[in-house]
Amino acid sequence: MASEVLINVGPAETRVALVEHERLDEIFIERMIQASNGAAAGRHGHRLFGNIMLGRVQRVLPGMQAAFVDLGLEKAGFLAAREARCLSDLPSFMDQPCITKCVKEGDAVVVQVIKDPIGDKGARLSANVTIPGRLVVLVPNQSGVALSRRIEEEAERKRLTDIVTEITESDPRAAAGAGYIVRTAALSATKDDIASDIARLGDEWRAIQARRQMAKVPATIYHDLDPVERTMRDGVDDDTTRILIDDAAAMAQAREYAARAMPEALDKIQLFNGPGELFELYNVEAEIEALLGPRTRLPSGGWITFETTEALTSVDVNSGSYTEATGLEQTSLKTNLEAAAEIGRQLRLRGIGGLIVIDFIHLSEPENIAQVLTVLAESTAKDRTPTQILPMSEFGLVEMTRKRVREPLSKLLSEKCEPCRGHGRVKTVMTVAAELLRRVAREAKTRPGAKLVAYAAPEVVRWIEAQGDELGAVMRGRVPAGLRFEARAQFERAEFDVGADR
């Protein structure tokens, strides 16, 4: 399936859009500036997910079968017993051990962030660390070879298992005693390519072990790749026809990674210099804006409504004014099929995780119900995040789960509206600041050599000024002639303007 990758590098955030057949299929936003609430961030403000850290066990709670680990962040990380199993001496065939058999208070432990801090909860941790490569994932604390669930053909599974087993048994650079998970990208790779990936991961693991010996608790001993390199590693495959990047330094970084790990992708990387803005292609900016609303239109005229609470996300399917001439069952079936095909895409775009309950329009015929469930399964099958779907209940409800690994897009970009007592949402100060800084960078391109002034609401200006020298240095690189911010008391939070400073 032909796809394109669009990478927009702004002063405050990097945004990655995966487009299939000229339609937005996934969106990732990673901010490089500190959240106003002090939310934890990794290297240069990037996310913590995937980082390997040396922490100290703060509390062990047998009643919860979990431990809290001090990582030097605002909140301690959460380590469940099932994620701490590799720290115990119990044989692998035994059931999940008690947390007290894995860790005790005061222990220094190497853990990996498997879920970023969300809301008032700290990071979720695992002691069974993994190091992803382009073709395989290294699992240092367990042996054997596993394969991606997307690799379905038995002949391919056996071929890849045999190749990886042979390499790990004969190559001295492979990590001793480690296991490997073969990624789908390995399907089109040669044995030499896989061997090179395994060797690089072995070198990385030995470097991590060396840093662990030298580090003082708490410390980060491995940073996952930054957004550009991570997109090359995880978001580019044989179906990718083009990678457009609107920043020269980021393009050079992508080309450097490709030359090292995936030379076949070098010719696909292009610098976007206009005309217009990168995310105006395929209407990506408008799609992001639409994702902040609860409703998504369907081709026939119906719609889907998403409502998220603390416990779950409800998805309501409505046919609107659409009617099928052949009767109510066919009207319901057509709307439900459109909704089922769209729900998987919307869950990916909105970053919705946890328990999801879908209220489809009532269907009477079992074969029609089966058809809707099949389409729903197909729409979620391409999701990199694990999902599970239960059969439809007698009330027409379908329960499913999607692993929650990051903040939903709506929470990243907006917050509850206090004046309307939580019944609406408004863009956060950080979201508005990021939009303003993108506008400044755009104006600087169209007015080379001009000194600029940015007008914004006082709270937005205060937030930008509070970021200090790091953001200031970035903006001086974007606007070398000079830039100043001026607060306008009459501006609403989302209002801003940029012009020449006279």
113-165 confidence digits (pLDDT tens): 998 887 778 999 999 999 999 999 999 998 999 999 888 899 999 999 999 99
Q: What is the pTM of this model?
A: 0.88
Q: What is the DSSP code string of 135-184?
A: SEEEETTS-EEEE-TT---HHHHHHHHHHHHHHHHH-TTSPTT-EEEE-G
Average pLDDT over residues 83-89: 87
**Which pLDDT value is given to residue 496?**
96
| Whether residue 282 has pLDDT greater than 90 | no
In contact, 241 and 3? CB cutoff 8 Å: yes
Q: Which of the listed CATH numbers 3.40.50.300, 3.40.50.2300, 3.30.230.10, 3.40.50.360 matches domain 131-222?
A: 3.30.230.10
Q: Note the pLDDT tens digit of each residue in 405-418.
A: 788 898 889 888 77
CA distance 44 to 24: 28
| Whether residue 317 has pLDDT greater than 50 | yes
Three-point CA angle 304, 308, 309, nearest 5°: 145
CB atoms within 10 A of CB 418: 9
| Whether residue 395 has pLDDT greater than 70 | yes
Provide the CATH number for the domain formed by 428-500 in this structure. 3.40.1260.20
Q: Is 276 helix (H, G, I), strand (E, B) or coil?
A: coil
CA distance 272 to 252: 13
Confidence of residue 92 (pLDDT cuts 50, 70, 90): low
| Whether residue 325 has pLDDT greater than 80 | no
**Which pLDDT value is given to residue 420?**
62
CA distance 266 to 256: 9
Residues 6+ apart with CB under 8 A from 158: none
- Which regions of the chain carry the CATH code 3.30.230.10? 131-222
Q: Thinking of the domain 47-126, which architecture would CATH place it in?
A: Beta Barrel (2.40)
Residues 6+ apart with CB under 8 A from 393: 399
- What rounded mean pLDDT belongs to the chain? 90
Confidence of residue 44 (pLDDT cuts 50, 70, 90): very low
CA distance 24 to 350: 12
Average pLDDT over residues 263-289: 92
**Which pLDDT value is given to residue 502?**
77
Provide the CATH number for the domain formed by 292-402 in this structure. 3.30.110
Residues 6+ apart with CB under 8 A from 112: 50, 51, 52, 53, 125, 126, 127, 128, 129, 130
- Which regions of the chain carry the CATH code 3.30.110? 292-402
- The candidate with the shortest Cα–Cα distance to 382, out of 407, 345, 350, 337, is 345
Residues 6+ apart with CB under 8 A from 446: none
- The candidate with the shortest Cα–Cα distance to 71, out of 184, 218, 261, is 218
Query: What is the CATH superfamily name and number for domain 3-33+226-286?
Result: eRF1 domain 2 (3.30.420.60)
Our measurement of the distance from residue 218's CA atom to the centroid of its chain's CA atoms, rounded to an integer in Å, reads 25
CA distance 8 to 11: 10
Q: Which of the two residues, 8 and 412, has the higher pLDDT score? A: 8
Q: Is 392 helix (H, G, I), strand (E, B) or coil?
A: coil
The one-character DSSP state at 122 is -
Average pLDDT over residues 211-221: 94
Average pLDDT over residues 16-30: 92
- Which regions of the chain carry the CATH code 3.40.1260.20? 428-500
Confidence of residue 194 (pLDDT cuts 50, 70, 90): very high
CA distance 466 to 12: 13
